[in-house]
């Protein structure tokens, strides 16, 4: 079995794979000051609940966009799992060719998503990850990672409205049945959610046009991330939602680098 960790700004998503099967997955909050032992205790509890022995884990891979938690996580893996984790970064085999001006600038999560989508779908791709930030990535059918766009996540946008406008309340991210709303809460929900859907579709339209100009055809748009379903089911462009895309990418990269 292998343990895969996707460390994001808000959550750490954890998966355990037995070969290609995702046996279980968990989501815990990202804590900047948590020690290796605190993480270790949390992982031991999760494994106990899932009835998985620590000794069953043969390898660990970590993708992180939060450098400050990496020391604790790497130390935790060495202490409790008795092995060095594979950390996604420069020098790790991915099977894709990053065409960024400076490939080291590309977030590990974006690379991992690109690897998974390229391996699974084998098509020209636009990948949208709805996280703390929303990322858009363009990947050619041959595996070239072209780049993409980054914008504030929908929750950041919603929180900014609540924090900066004194009379507006914090609202749950839901889709009202109408856009012409009759109260403040649903008016905010309509503006936030449908406005975000419009933003997503506009960016995807522009990316599609640029990819078509490069000769790419039959471009598949796939989304992932915690809020992917909320936005994607109303999008005119998103064709697939894969909630485990990042975990799959980590598994694939681990297999590519296994000695």
- The reply, when asked if residue 11 is annotated as ligand binding, is yes
d(CA 199, CA 136): 12
- The reply, when asked if residue 252 is annotated as ligand binding, is no
DSSP letter for each residue of 160-229:
HHHHH-TTPPP------S-SS-SSHHHHHHHHHHHHHHHHHHHHHHHHHHHHHHTT--S-EEEEESTTHH
- The reply, when asked if residue 148 is annotated as ligand binding, is no
- The reply, when asked if residue 41 is annotated as ligand binding, is no
- The reply, when asked if residue 160 is annotated as ligand binding, is no
Look at residue 38 and give its three-state secondary structure.
helix
- The reply, when asked if residue 91 is annotated as ligand binding, is no
Catalytic residues: 109
Helix residue spans in the chain (DSSP H) = 36-50, 70-80, 108-121, 154-164, 184-213, 228-232, 245-257
Structure token digits, residue 42: 């949390």
- The reply, when asked if residue 135 is annotated as ligand binding, is no
Which residues 6+ apart lie within 8 Å of 186 measured at CB? 176
- The reply, when asked if residue 10 is annotated as ligand binding, is yes
- The reply, when asked if residue 134 is annotated as ligand binding, is no
- The reply, when asked if residue 9 is annotated as ligand binding, is yes
Residue in 219, 220, 228 with CA at minimum distance from that of residue 246: 228
- The reply, when asked if residue 132 is annotated as ligand binding, is yes
Q: Which residues are annotated as a binding site for K(+)?
A: 129
Q: Which residues are annotated as a binding site for ATP?
A: 6-13, 132
Q: Which residues are annotated as a binding site?
A: 6-13, 100, 107-110, 129, 132, 184
Q: Which residues are annotated as a binding site for substrate?
A: 100, 107-110, 184
């Amino acid at each position: 079995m292998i343990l895969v960790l996707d460390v994001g700004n808000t959550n750490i998503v954890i998966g355990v794979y037995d070969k290609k099967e995702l046996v279980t997955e968990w989501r815990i909050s990202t804590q900047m000051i948590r020690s290796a032992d605190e993480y270790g205790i949390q992982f031991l509890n999760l494994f106990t609940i899932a009835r998985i022995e620590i000794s069953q884990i043969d390898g660990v891979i970590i993708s992180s966009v939060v450098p400050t938690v990496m020391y604790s996580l790497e130390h935790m893996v060495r202490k409790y799992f008795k092995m060095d984790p594979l950390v996604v970064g420069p020098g790790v085999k991915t099977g894709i060719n990053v065409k960024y001006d400076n490939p080291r600038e590309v977030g590990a999560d974006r690379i991992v998503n690109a690897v998974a989508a390229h391996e699974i779908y084998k098509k020209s791709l636009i990948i949208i990850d709805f996280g703390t930030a929303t990322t858009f990535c363009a990947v050619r059918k041959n595996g070239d990672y072209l780049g993409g766009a980054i914008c504030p996540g929908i929750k950041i946008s919603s929180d900014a409205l609540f924090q900066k406008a004194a009379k507006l309340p914090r609202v749950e991210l839901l889709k009202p049945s109408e856009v012409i709303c009759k109260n403040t809460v649903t008016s905010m929900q309509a503006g936030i959610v449908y406005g975000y859907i419009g933003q997503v579709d506009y960016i995807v339209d522009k990316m599609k046009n640029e990819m078509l100009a490069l000769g790419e055809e039959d471009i598949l748009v796939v989304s992932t991330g915690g809020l992917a379903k909320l936005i994607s089911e109303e999008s005119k462009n998103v064709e697939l939602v894969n909630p485990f895309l990042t975990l799959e990418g980590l598994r694939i990269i681990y297999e590519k680098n296994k000695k």
